[in-house]
Amino acid sequence: MSDALLTVSNLKKYFPIRKGVLRRTVGHVKAVDDVSFTVQKGETLGIVGESGCGKSTMGRSILRLIEPTGGEVKFENTNLTKLSKGSLRTLRQKMQIVFQDPYASLNPKFKIGTILERPMQIHGLYTPAERRKRVASLLERCGLDPSAAEKYPNEFSGGQRQRIGIARALTLNPSLIVLDEPVSALDVSVQSQIINLLEDLQEAFSLTYLFIAHDLSVVRHISDRIAVMYLGQTMELAESLELFEAPLHPYTQALLSAIPVPDPDVKRERILLRGDLPSPANPPAGCPFHTRCKDAKDICKTKKPVWKEVRPGHHVACHLYS
Q: Does the pLDDT value for residue 308 go beyond 90? A: yes
Q: What are 21-42's pLDDT values in tens digits?
A: 888 988 999 999 999 999 999 9
Partnered with residue 296 across adjacent β-strands are none
Query: Mean pLDDT for the chain?
Result: 93
CB 237 within 8 A of CB 37: yes
Q: Does the pLDDT value for residue 140 go beyond 80? A: yes
Confidence of residue 261 (pLDDT cuts 50, 70, 90): confident
Q: Does the pLDDT value for residue 52 go beyond 80? A: yes
Confidence of residue 86 (pLDDT cuts 50, 70, 90): confident
E strands, the chain, in order: 4-19, 24-40, 44-48, 70-75, 78-79, 95-98, 176-180, 208-212, 225-230, 233-239, 307-311, 314-317
pLDDT (average), residues 90-109:
93
- Alpha-carbon distance of 113 to 230, in angstroms, equals 40
Confidence of residue 236 (pLDDT cuts 50, 70, 90): very high
Q: What is the pLDDT of residue 2?
A: 54
**DSSP for 215-281?**
-HHHHHHH-SEEEEEETTEEEEEEEHHHHHHS--SHHHHHHHHTSPPS-TT------PPPSPPPPTT
SS3 for 48?
strand
Q: Judging by beta carbons within 10 Å of its beta carbon (0-12, 13-18, 19+), is residue 188 exposed, middle or buried? A: exposed
pLDDT (average), residues 237-246:
96
- Domains of the chain, by residue range, sit at 4-321
Q: What is the pLDDT of residue 318?
A: 96
pLDDT above 90 covers a percentage of the chain that reads 80
Q: What is the pLDDT of residue 1?
A: 46
- Alpha-carbon distance of 173 to 189, in angstroms, equals 28
pLDDT (average), residues 188-192:
91
Partnered with residue 314 across adjacent β-strands are 311
pLDDT above 70 covers a percentage of the chain that reads 99
Q: Does the pLDDT value for residue 108 go beyond 90? A: yes
Q: What is the pLDDT of residue 284?
A: 92
Q: Which CATH number is associated with domain 4-321?
A: 3.40.50.300
